[in-house]
Structure 1
Amino acid sequence: MDWVSWHSAYADPSSSLSRRLEAVREQIRLCLSAAPSGSLRAVSMCAGDGRDLLGVLASHPRAADVSARLVELDPTLAARARAAAASLPAEVSVVEGDAAFTSAYAGAVPADLALFCGVFGNISPTDIATTIAAVPEFVAPGGVVIWTRHREAPDLVPQILEWFADVGCESLYVSPKDAGFGVGAHRFVGTPRPLVAGRRLFTFER
């Protein structure tokens, strides 16, 4: 998959990808606005050029409180994310590496905001379940995880909601099925666990 070319769909504001982006950004804004005062940690898995989180931090009043780690394997997209982050008041590091490995997040979790966007539509159901099962290692109590997944057959979103509930997450938002995309946000209210470094959570299937 040429992920740089894949991002070109964002140029069309009416595309399902652009509309999904706005839904994700709205959930990020809500999370940052509702967070307690003080410093905030954020991590982004398979971050691409970071336009979801960085696009919000460009204008959000809590931006200076945020320290974020973006993990992206593609060097062109990682470079774009670094360039976009350079002018922001937030402290942003971009790791050019495989987001599937837990070691990429060492020192950055537990986070107040975790983005699992652009992941679940490209991995197997077993790997989706494995990744969600790791939420207690990624998200601090009261923190929020935001994810995306298409609604094409087989529609796994109902099962994804159950998997999040199983690890101690309460649903904050799920996009309507007829939206043309799937976006969800959950608050972690379960029991956290230390990050187990060196594990692979998923493998992209395309």
Structure 2
Amino acid sequence: MAVDEDWYEWHRPYDDPGSPLAARLLVVQRHISDWLDTRPGELLTCVSACAGQGRDLLGVLESRPDARRVRARLIESDARNVAAAEAHIARAGLTGVEVLRADAGDLGNYSGAIPADLVLFAGVLGNVTDADARRSVAAFPALCAAGGTVIWTRTRADPDLTPAIRGWLSGEGFEELAFEAPPNATFSVGVHRLTVPPSALTSGRIFTFVR
């Protein structure tokens, strides 16, 4: 994890409705809500990498009467963000959600939370090297349950890696359900579903933040 970024302060623009981060958050939340609606009544599992304060998933679950059917792990290394997420969980009564203060780049920290029906990779692929982005996508089939969905984000600022990421996902056996790239912003949000059998989880590191 990069040491020159204050990841707690990084979250402040979420509180500004006019910020790109706030706009991206709404798109991610909409796709999480839509995903839940496509699987009504099922017990579902979710894991969120570099979850920050968990605003995407927690913001959806706190407003849903069916939130208790979701079991989730948020993986986040910043202590203040972990505390903010835990406070949000307590306020919302989301007893099925846990926060693990750990490095999401280490596959060992996913043990016990995968295979997951939903994998959230929001705010990750834009803060790692291209090689680590490729390595992360290659690990997605091991993080997902059969038919699992990945929601990911990435900036489209030059050099735009999103065409390559979408191609990598296809090569790993994922079907693209959605790709949103608003013309008035540089962020993009992708939604992909695994169409091949999940692979076995290996050990090791898939990414390190470089921002």
Q: Same fold (TM over 0.5)?
A: yes
Which residue of structure 1 aligns with residue 27 of structure 2? 23
Cα drift, residue 177 of structure 1? 5.0
1:78 aligns with 2:82: yes
Is the 8 Å Cα contact of residues 151 and 177 (structure 1) preserved in structure 2? no
Is the 8 Å Cα contact of residues 66 and 90 (structure 1) preserved in structure 2? no
Q: Helix, strand or coil for the counterpart of 1:42?
A: strand
Q: Aligned partners of 1:88 and 1:193: how far apart in 2?
A: 34
- Superposition TM-score, scaled by structure 2 size: 0.94
Give the 5 Å matches for 1:91-110: 91-110=96-115
Is the 8 Å Cα contact of residues 57 and 90 (structure 1) preserved in structure 2? no
Which residue of structure 2 aligns with residue 188 of structure 1? 194
- Superposition TM-score, scaled by structure 1 size: 0.96
Q: Aligned partners of 2:14 and 2:182: how far apart in 1?
A: 21
1:53 aligns with 2:57: yes
Question: Which consecutive unaligned segments of at least 5 residues does structure 2 have?
Answer: none
Give the 5 Å matches for 1:1-206: 1-35=5-39, 37-86=41-90, 87-180=92-185, 181-197=187-203, 199-206=204-211
Q: Aligned partners of 2:67 and 2:49: how far apart in 1?
A: 19
Cα drift, residue 37 of structure 1? 2.8
Q: Give the count of matched residue pairs.
A: 205
| Percentage identity across paired residues of the two chains | 45
Cα drift, residue 36 of structure 1? 5.1
Is the 8 Å Cα contact of residues 32 and 62 (structure 1) preserved in structure 2? no
Cα drift, residue 179 of structure 1? 4.3
Q: Aligned partners of 1:144 and 1:53: how far apart in 2?
A: 14
Cα drift, residue 63 of structure 1? 0.8
Cα shift readout 1:78-131 (whole Å, capped 9, x = no counterpart): 011111112334501100011100111101101011001110010011100100
| CA RMSD across the alignment | 1.2
Q: Helix, strand or coil for the counterpart of 1:133?
A: helix
Change (3 A) 1:31 1:125: same
